[in-house]
Structure 1
Amino acid sequence: MRLLLLQLLCGSPLLLSAQTLSGRVLRADSTAAPVPFASIGVKGKAAGTVADVQGRFRFPDSPELAATDSVIVTGVGYRPARLLLGQLREADLTIKLKTQPQVLREVTVRHRQLRPQVLGRTSTSGVAHWGANSIVKDSVRRREKLGSEFGTFLTSPRNCYVDDFNVYVQYNPFRQVRLRLLFYAVRGGRPAELLLSQDIQLVLTDRQRGWIKVDLRPHNLQFSKGQKVVVALQWLDAVGVTPNYQSFDVPALLPSPLHRIYTRDKSQANWKFYPARPSIYLNVQSWR
């Protein structure tokens, strides 16, 4: 019987109350432009969502949420904004995010004696899966998945430049799926600060499956020897469902005691860890 990580990811659906919490996320500058796909999460709880392309968001209230809970609004390249959940209950808010000053990454000339290397898992088999399995026909539960994350821990054995990211999609019922690619530093065995300030998104169309590649050479991403990182995907949006397909899945080997993945239901929920190894890898160029 196939084991689905989705059951661990999502658990039981939230009980919807009559009230919906909503608002809009805009840039805190003269343009007041929307911040598309900003993440909205309740600190330490599996509640929140992702804004749409116009920066608008909404998610169900719940008796499990307190007025004093912290709501954290984030966008890649922006400073986080914090407010109390009680403020969302009182009004439809406009939340403004200030841009985060970016430290320009040093452009380096690649070392002449580079060696191609793979970090991660290139196999496509596995009995564990991450994705939207069993919820694709339920639009309410599909919305609840917005903002969930799934990541794998990697360690570079040598100094290296990152060429590209690769993920294997085994099933995909959607006309369009939008995911965000994230790279985290690791502190105390947990994902910490983001390593890139650019918002890197994957858009899969027409039920696209198989290996999906993202060219990362323009971002000049480098890892030091022995550096631990987390490579993660965040669920941003999905449009359309094909009746003949039942799931969106990324396979993973489970158990895999020497490897670890993490999941979290929303952008500010607590992390959950499992001894598994997903079909995700990086092509790198390393040197001693």
Structure 2
Amino acid sequence: MPKYKTKLLYLLIGLPVTVFGQSFTGTITDSQNNTPLPYASIGVKGKSIGGIADSKGHFLVNITNAAPSDTIIVSYLGYESKTFVKRDISQSAYHIELVPGALQLREVAARGKRATIIIGNKKASAQYTGWGDYISSKGRLRGVAIQTTDTPLKLSKFKMRLNACEFDSVRFRLHILPLQTNYSGNLNAELIDENIFFNAYKDQKWVSVDLTPYNLVIHQNIVAAVEWVDSWVKKESRNESYLLTISLSREEGYIYVRETPEEPFLATKSKFTPTIYFETYKPGNSDIPK
């Protein structure tokens, strides 16, 4: 990817640290090979305080408004999380090593062409949801409940309709979660065991992600969500915000919003829901992960 100038990098990670505030800062790496973990999450449990690391694993989060007894969780998909208590944070910077979890090996079967089954919202309206500022943008999330009676289904493509993308490039992380009682969503119950990052580009409308390498089979209704983790512009050509918005469909349902890691992830009934869908097909026995 071209080395675009990052727009207000640390403002995207967290709010400015004041003289009387307190910051939690450092680097997050893999404990086995010391490689950085890009876009790892840092959040105060149950509160709207937190952010994510940058592409090199560096992070800076303002925890001034957290209580001394609050728990700060550092997490990365496919790894065991680490926790800290605010009152115990004393170092100027931390080197946090996360231990890889037990990943499920997948067996990918080469099969002939199958009938495509669409699940989710495919038709966009003039309505939209999203973001229009730089400050604390990283870690923001939008999602939609997707229900189907055809499970199990194998996911072959993920598609999303953007209403506006004024950045030169934006990076997202895909989340696929089980749809729980009362349409709740739990980001700690991912149905995937590794990060799926993808990019969108200036003025792009339809974004498509090939999911065949991941051999994902769903057996239940899900929440599909996208998280904004990074953005780039070639130069700072204006003072106002660059827009990044997702089109909404006219399908009534449940929309999911989260601004920072570890805060409550709740569903809201809405007449308009994000234009997000999957192309799927009915799997054979050899398509289902052992």
- Which one of 185, 201, 212 corresponds to residue 217 of structure 1? 212
Displacement after TM superposition at 1:208 (Å) = 4.1
Report the Cα distance in structure 1 between the residues aligned to 2:180 and 2:163, rounded to whole angstroms.
32
| Aligned position for 2:265 | 271
Which residue does the alignment assign to 2:122?
A: 122
- Relative distance call for 1:113 and 1:203 in structure 2 (3 A) is closer
Number of matched pairs: 260
Secondary structure at 2:213's aligned position in 1?
Answer: helix
Q: Where does 1:155-194 land on structure 2 (aligned, <5 Å)?
A: 155-158=147-150, 159-188=152-181, 189-192=183-186, 193-194=189-190
The residue that corresponds to 1:231 in the other structure is: 224
1:37 aligns with 2:69: no
> What one-letter code is carried by the residue in structure 2 that aligns with 1:65?
A
CA shift, 1:56, in A, is: 0.7
3-state DSSP of counterpart to 1:86: helix
What letter corresponds to residue 145 of structure 2 in structure 1? F
- The residue aligned with 1:7 is none
Q: Indicate the SS of the match to 1:144.
A: coil
SS of the residue 2:118 aligns to: strand
Provide closer, same or farther for how the CA distance between residues 245 and 45 of structure 1 changes in structure 2, counting only shifts above 3 A. Answer: closer
| 1:189-243 deviation per Cα after TM superposition (whole angstroms, max 9, x unaligned) | 32231111121111223x141100000011111123xx11111111111122664
SS at match of 2:55: coil
Q: Once the 2 structures are TM-superposed, how far is the Cα of residue 279 of structure 1 from its aligned partner?
A: 0.9
8 A Cα contact 1:147 1:266, kept in partner? yes
**Cα-Cα RMSD:** 2.5
Q: Which residue of 2 aligns with 1:95?
A: 96
Structure 2: distance between partners of 1:85 and 1:175: 37
**What is the DSSP-based 3-state SS (H/G/I as helix, E as strand, rest coil) of the residue aligned with 1:231?**
strand
Please show how residues 15-26 of structure 1 align to structure 2 within 5 Å: 17-18=18-19, 19=21, 20-26=23-29
Change in 2 beyond 3 A, CA 1:242/1:252: farther
Partner of 1:149: 141
Question: Between the two proteins, what is the percent identity of the paired residues?
Answer: 23
Maintained 8 Å contact 2:139/2:228: yes
User: Does structure 1 residue 198 correspond to structure 2 residue 194?
Assistant: yes
Write the letter of the residue equivalent to 2:82: A
- 2:70 counterpart of 1:69: yes
- Are 2:184 and 2:266, in contact at CA under 8 Å, matched by a contact in 1? no
Distance 1:172 1:242, change over 3 A: farther
- Deviation of 1:245 (Å): 7.7
Task: Tell me, yes or no, if the aligned pair for 1:17 and 1:61 is still in contact at 8 Å.
Answer: no
* TM-score when normalising by structure 2: 0.81
Q: What CA distance in whole angstroms lies between the structure 1 residues aligned with 2:113 and 2:60?
A: 52
- How far is the alpha carbon of 1:149 from its aligned partner? 1.5
Task: List runs of 5+ in structure 2 lacking aligned partners.
Answer: 1-13, 285-290
Q: 1:92 to 1:86 in 2, by over 3 A?
A: farther
Q: 1:83 to 1:61 in 2, by over 3 A?
A: closer
Alignment deviations for residues 121-148 of structure 1 (CA, whole Å, 9 cap, x no partner): 1112142412x22x1xxxxxx2412112
Q: Provide the C-alpha distance between the structure 1 equivalents of 2:57 and 2:113, rounded to a whole number of angstroms.
A: 46
What is the SS of the residue equivalent to 1:202?
strand
Q: Is the 8 A contact 2:15 2:135 kept in 1?
A: no
Runs of 4+ displaced beyond 6 Å:
none
